[in-house]
Structure 1
């Protein structure tokens, strides 16, 4: 019963930070600056490691084991480099402070099992669930093989006979099995929390989008008809009116064109994509959009740099995809009033085609990023927010996702993931 109590206590130390994952980790930005969220991640992961080491699992023969590497690996994969390094340093220093014969075993095992998580930090969030579970299973098995082998070698150096070692192998292997299943279960739990969180955000956004779409469908056509009539009569009046009033008529026509453009965006909200989905080559599409936007970029002192990785295909509506990319590139150009470089790249990443559009503009804050795509939100003085809203809906309609990363003073990156078409 004592060993069961120790195991349950270890699981408690690991699960409590995981249950706080939604509130502490999910909103964490990938900024190099040390923020409140990053500090909480480091604190929780370090406490979890320390508590696991302070209350180990006691087995026969006076041997002690703990699951400290589980919160350590989870912190590296989901928290990033800085929290991972801090938690690792806490683990090593506290292990040295505790002393004992297992210090060398702990350091050797750590130097092996921590390599892969650090290498996977940048790609981890892009993997699908089954791949993450397979990877974490391999990491767990490798960690236990190294730790168990080092433990056996340590026991041999202590002069224990093979019979004594054989008697201790049973508890060691049992702890190893518990370890592997626990780390796989923890990753599955985290992914379940992440998926639930993402679905909730998508539902909230969909409700807002559906509301504005219903409004667009019911109002846009009714408003467009009288505008067309007014525009026609103003053009007739221009031919007969006193020349002094031509300037005012020109302003009226300009504003009517602007109203027409806004209403067209409303109609796109009501129907974000057409029924004609075809196989589209992303490289050619990006080249066409770059050519179309080149004159606008030159006018604003911006250089467009395009990097395409081979032939990459997606299932998409070509016209709407071009519209979405043009909106994003136009925003990037306008974000650099003093000029700069707009970089557009396409590449394959797993089962996705990734399109990245990055500018060297002023950047936007995390609060502004969270509001991108919401009705009537825009950082432009005369913006309506409908352009990005339509763009987000177009990407969603193609079963893709769009992410915005930005740092004030350094620019913004837009990352689009679209399912690859083989």
Structure 2
């Protein structure tokens, strides 16, 4: 009993290295710098647990090799899981050549199941993740118990139950610690962004107005010079470029001010259908400059609560970004419809698209995919969506385009609230198309 308990503690300490290394490597930021140390400790834990297995009874040896495989699949990538299983089978062939085919069949099945489960694992809650881990581990426990029955060593089954309980507890603790690491990283990232926004707000509040005053004077003089008759072609070009840069600077200052300005807007009932059509008409001339065609598919009668000026600014920003993502022309599709209790708006372009790394960075201060961008436009857009209590989803493929989907709570009159009839689309609802 003493040796059995000591072995269990030893294996627990081996496995607890995994969340510890995950915590340390997560501060490195870069994906490969984070994953490489974690994969290395998974490989080491796998080697140690298989080299020094726990002896239960009658020459039966068990280990915790399931845990490194699980972590590799669900917290790095399926490819890391495949490599971990390959290492596991290689170790099995070295330590116990007679069982290699059983291990190959078992972990091939596990590998397929893990691959499909990993697609939705990250979207699950913490309890759901624990449930998935337990569900996957239970068949292993049942299989081991069947072996005990076949070899007629039932009197030592209590040791197997203790080992299985410790295994599930160890896996649960590792999942908990890794999830807490991820939550802390997310909170730290939000805190860093909040500090940047606060710094921008203070900067905007202190200097924006002072910068705008001399800019207005300079722009006025340049506008007067532009009307002079004796200017050369080069001088006219210089003045035109100067005016454009002043306008761009003024736009950036407006973005700063919108971040620093205290929120005093009053929400009211807004016709989202009409507003989207208005913004689409407003952006068509801008799109024609780069041969971008704007197509709308917007259902009538969609109303939300919010500030109409902010909502208009939100969709102007998004459509402008989509148009600028198609320098060689293309089609910009704007659609909106009701889905249960939300209004779903999709803005889809055929532009240059973005990688997953760029998608992750979107909305952060000073980050922009455009050479002359500041990143403030999208940050303001995300802030408006949050104030409207909405959600957004961005999907993008490089060289194919980007889709920006927004879900906003619908507005319902008191009569509709008393007699709710939330349907996706009513039969009499008409679609605006242009």
Secondary structure of the corresponding residue to residue 327 of structure 2: coil
Superposition pairs for residues 5-404 of structure 1, below 5 Å? 5-22=6-23, 24=25, 27=29, 38-99=35-96, 106=103, 110=107, 114-127=111-124, 131-144=125-138, 146-158=139-151, 160=152, 164-165=153-154, 167-225=155-213, 242-244=228-230, 254=244, 256-271=246-261, 275-276=265-266, 292-302=282-292, 319-339=309-329, 360-361=351-352, 363=354, 366=357, 373=363, 375-378=365-368, 380-395=370-385
Instruction: Using structure 2 for the length normalisation, give the TM-score.
Output: 0.71
User: Contact 2:22–2:34 at 8 Å: present in 1 too?
Assistant: no
Instruction: Identify if the C-alpha distance between structure 1 residues 376 and 90 changes in structure 2 by more than 3 Å, giving closer, same or farther.
Output: closer
Deviation at 1:193, TM superposition (A): 0.7
TM-score by length of 1: 0.72
Distance across 2 between alignment mates of 1:281 and 1:77: 44
In the TM superposition, residue 214 of structure 1 has moved relative to its aligned partner by 1.2
Q: Is the contact between residue 18 and residue 174 of structure 2 (CA under 8 Å) also seen in structure 1?
A: no
The 1:150–1:371 alpha-carbon spacing in structure 2 relative to 1, beyond 3 Å, is closer
Distance in 2 of aligned mates of 1:268 and 1:255 = 20
Q: 1:300 to 1:230 in 2, by over 3 A?
A: closer
Deviation at 1:192, TM superposition (A): 0.8
1:10, 1:52 within 8 Å by CA — same for their partners in 2? yes
**Tell me, which stretches of 5 or more residues in structure 1 are unaligned?**
30-34
> In the aligned structure 1, how far is the partner of 2:278 from the partner of 2:258?
22
What is aligned with 1:4?
A: 5
C-alpha distance in structure 2 between counterparts of 1:13 and 1:313, whole Å: 57
Report the CA distance shift for 1:273/1:344 in structure 2 as closer, same or farther (over 3 A): farther
- Three-state SS of the structure 2 residue aligned to 1:337 is coil
Are 1:335 and 1:362, in contact at CA under 8 Å, matched by a contact in 2?
yes
Structure 1: distance between partners of 2:101 and 2:212: 77
Note closer, same or farther for the CA distance 1:412–1:63 as it changes in structure 2 (3 Å cut): farther
Instruction: Report if the CA contact (8 A) 1:116-1:139 is conserved.
Output: no
For 1:276 and 1:286, the matched residues in 2 are separated by: 20
Q: For the structure 1 residues 185 and 36, does the alpha-carbon distance in structure 2 shift closer, same or farther, using more than 3 Å as the test?
A: closer
| SS across alignment from 1:121 | helix
Structure 1 residue 67 displacement after superposition = 1.7
Alpha-carbon distance in structure 2 between the residues aligned to 1:172 and 1:281: 65
C-alpha RMSD over aligned residues = 4.8
SS in 1 for 2:156: helix
Q: How many residues align?
A: 401
* Per-residue deviation, residues 182-201 of structure 1 (Å, max 9, x unmatched): 22221111111111111112
Contact 1:400 1:416 in 2 (8 A): no
Unaligned runs of 5+ in 2: 411-421, 423-434
Secondary structure class of the residue paired with 1:383 = coil
Question: Against the structure 1 CA distance between its residues 58 and 383, is the aligned structure 2 distance closer, same or farther, given a 3 Å change threshold?
Answer: same
**Aligned 8 A contact 1:336 1:362 in 2:** no
- Give the CA deviation at 1:229: 6.7
Does the 8 Å contact 1:336/1:360 carry over to 2?
yes
